[in-house]
Amino acid sequence: MSTVDRQVRAYYGAQALSPDRAREILRLAETRRSHRRWRLALAVAATLVVAIGTVLLRGALAERALGDRVAAEVAMNHTKDLDVEIAAASYPELGAALDKLTFPLTEPSKLANHDLLGGRYCSIQAQLAAQLKVRADDGRTATLYVTELTPGLVSLSGARREVDGIAIEMWSENGLLFALAETRSQRPSS
């Protein structure tokens, strides 16, 4: 090594930062690290908000789509206006006759002003159900669909839809899902 190299090394080797300047440099480095952590935390939080929002939106859209599919199926069957296969005036009597049902057929409290005319088997979303014909006090007939309330159908409770002039109201009661279909333009029969 040359004399100049040794002198340069010796000179710069003897140079040192003051303790105050060293502390200032370390504080600035820590502040920058802290800002990076803060930006990273914000980015992670924003990503989580977007992901949760996407999941919730997809869930809401899927529930809406299920409600629309069930309402379309109920409206289609209601429009067929099929005769009852088993005439019955009480829910227990009709439930005993529809012995393939895996649930007890009970009168929903919302239909206290409707008379049961009878029913038949049907399905809702490939699940065994009962299709009942009921008559309101004013003479209008409606179709009531009853099936077991499964986890997949829970979200339909409280849903209301209108499909081609047919009003459909869905609710749950006693572990059952009910869907009442009524034609809006129907006039009371005499």
Tell me: the pLDDT tens digits for 59-86? 554 555 667 888 888 888 878 878 888 9
Top-confidence residue, 30 or 134: 134
Query: What pLDDT is recorded for position 187?
Result: 46
Residues near 101 by Cβ (< 8 Å), separated by ≥ 6?
A: 95, 121, 128, 130
What whole-number distance in Å separates Cα of residue 172 and Cα of residue 162?
A: 19
Q: Stretch 101-122: mean pLDDT, rounded?
A: 90
Query: What pLDDT is recorded for position 189?
Result: 47
What pairing do the DSSP bridges indicate for beta strands 160-163 and 86-87?
unpaired
Q: State the burial class of residue 93 (Cβ atoms within 10 Å of its Cβ: 0-12, 13-18, 19+).
A: middle
* pLDDT tier, 190 (very low <50, low <70, confident <90, very high otherwise): very low
Token pair listed for 94: 């009709």
Query: What pLDDT is recorded for position 65?
Result: 66
> Positive or negative CA dihedral for 5, 9, 10, 12?
positive
Q: State the burial class of residue 128 (Cβ atoms within 10 Å of its Cβ: 0-12, 13-18, 19+).
A: middle
Q: State the burial class of residue 135 (Cβ atoms within 10 Å of its Cβ: 0-12, 13-18, 19+).
A: middle
**For residue 156, what is the DSSP state?**
G
Q: What is the pLDDT of residues 136-180, one digit of tens each?
A: 888 888 999 999 988 878 777 778 888 888 999 999 898 998 999
Query: What pLDDT is recorded for position 5?
Result: 81
Query: What pLDDT is recorded for position 59?
Result: 53
- The answer to whether residue 188 scores a pLDDT higher than 50 is no
Mean of per-residue pLDDT scores for the chain: 81
